Amino acid sequence: MRTLNQILNKIDSEDELTKDNFKFLLQLKNRGDIDLLFRKAYEIKQKYVGNKTYFRGIVELSNICRKDCYYCGIRRSNKNVNRFVLKEEQILSAAKWAYENNYGSVVLQSGERNDKAFIEFIEKTLMEIKKLSDGELGITISFGEQSYDTYKRWFEAGAHRYLLRIETSNPEHYKKLHPPDHFFEERLNCLKMIKDIGYQTGTGVMIGLPFQTVDDLVSDLFFFKEFDIDMLGMGPYLVNEDTPLAKEFLNFEEKKDEQYLLGLKMIACARILLRDVNIASTTALQALKYSGREMGLLAGANIIMPNITPMEYREAYQLYDNKPCIDDDAELCLDCLKQRIYGIESEIGYGEWGDSPHFKKKNLINNI
């Protein structure tokens, strides 16, 4: 049996990036050992993506969704949600604020809709954001499963990164998290279309889900690698009591620490395996620990997505319970984040897109 030090000392070599090694790392229990793992991931982050943290101001523009995922607070069957759609001017004003405050990019996200009015609305909004920032603001979008034509239209309108979380790479597990009319293959196919069109492609999973095994998590890591993704947005599973999956995860309060550490260990393992991709330190970590997002950065992440949605709508966009920062306005969020990021001696990539070095390298190779 090899020791943790033996594994970490050699993990820079491709031969050591084995499923067995990652299973061992994900199962670490001793806090000192876990810290060693984080330190190694941080070292690899510094080497491959540098010390900068990039901001993506996130606008949650609507909580209307045609899907019914068992874990999600804004699923269509949840009648306890006040549904909203932001007006174009509200989205543009948030984007303008991000631009004026030197955020390099924004993320537009909403529940999934594929009707004509929505597709046009997003297309127009993307073009207006490009206009108001002289093309300078980077745009990531996350609007779920769409047709090839829709993805292409939005790409041509100015979005250049797309985040579509696969949630689990195990099709049998996927079936337990979704109703029968949601298909794993369809999601995978969408991810392929996004990549073919030329978006920087992001995906992710939920960590610590009911019915999930450590082998599933290891497979998720290797799925990211084999799919050659550019960005990763993943976080611990958090319960929303208004969802069917909540009854599969009892005594959540007692398991919070475990969920939190598993979320961080997955970030660290992803950094070690994937090296030069962008990895977000998600709000879900902060929901479990006040300093969760900074810890995510110390465990290998390099992206933060501060919420810039108008405050009055944040309460209604709760994918999980007790989401943090719903009462802080964007200015306050920014000040607090700056302090937190300087506190861990990371720089902020003001005004930069902060594209994934992995994506840049691929494009360079393709253009030779």
Binding site for ligand SF4 (CB under 6 A): 65, 67-69, 72, 74-75, 111-112, 144
Q: Report the nearest approach of ligand SF4 to the CB of residue 222 (Å).
A: 24
Q: CB–CB of 222/27 below 8 Å?
A: no
C-alpha distance from residue 150 to each of 91, 108, 125, 129, 147 (Å): 20, 15, 14, 18, 5
Task: Compare residues 186 and 226 and give the one whose CB is closer to ligand SF4.
Answer: 186
Task: Compare residues 40 and 165 and give the one whose CB is closer to ligand SF4.
Answer: 165
CA distance 147 to 25: 38
Task: Compare residues 57 and 111 and give the one whose CB is closer to ligand SF4.
Answer: 111
Q: Report the nearest approach of ligand SF4 to the CB of residue 220 (Å).
A: 17
- The residues pairing with 235 across neighbouring beta strands, listed in sequence order, are 206
Q: Report the nearest approach of ligand SF4 to the CB of residue 113 (Å).
A: 9
- The residues pairing with 85 across neighbouring beta strands, listed in sequence order, are 62
Q: Report the nearest approach of ligand SF4 to the CB of residue 55 (Å).
A: 23
Task: Compare residues 236 and 349 and give the one whose CB is closer to ligand SF4.
Answer: 236
Residue 81 tokens, joined: 């949600």
Q: Report the nearest approach of ligand SF4 to the CB of residue 328 (Å).
A: 23
Q: Report the nearest approach of ligand SF4 to the CB of residue 188 (Å).
A: 15
Task: Compare residues 74 and 238 and give the one whose CB is closer to ligand SF4.
Answer: 74
CA distance 232 to 122: 23
Residue type, 291: S
Task: Compare residues 69 and 119 and give the one whose CB is closer to ligand SF4.
Answer: 69
Task: Compare residues 16 and 68 and give the one whose CB is closer to ligand SF4.
Answer: 68
Instruction: Kindly report the number of other CB atoms within 10 A of residue 72's CB atom.
Output: 22
Q: Report the nearest approach of ligand SF4 to the CB of residue 45 (Å).
A: 28
Q: Report the nearest approach of ligand SF4 to the CB of residue 93 (Å).
A: 24
Alpha helices in the chain (DSSP H): 4-10, 19-26, 31-48, 88-100, 116-132, 148-157, 171-177, 184-197, 214-227, 252-274, 283-288, 292-298, 311-314, 330-343, 357-367
In order, the DSSP letters of 217-275 are HHHHHHHHHHHT-SEEEEEE----TTSGGGGGS--HHHHHHHHHHHHHHHHHHHHHHH-
Q: Report the nearest approach of ligand SF4 to the CB of residue 150 (Å).
A: 15
Ramachandran quadrant class, 198 (left: phi over 0; alpha: psi -120 to 50; beta: rest):
left
Task: Compare residues 45 and 75 and give the one whose CB is closer to ligand SF4.
Answer: 75
Q: CB–CB of 272/300 below 8 Å?
A: yes
Q: CB–CB of 182/68 below 8 Å?
A: yes
Task: Compare residues 74 and 274 and give the one whose CB is closer to ligand SF4.
Answer: 74
Residue type, 317: Y
Q: Report the nearest approach of ligand SF4 to the CB of residue 100 (Å).
A: 29
Task: Compare residues 111 and 263 and give the one whose CB is closer to ligand SF4.
Answer: 111
3-state secondary structure of 207: strand
- Among residues 130, 83, 88, the alpha carbon closest in space to that of 106 is found at 130
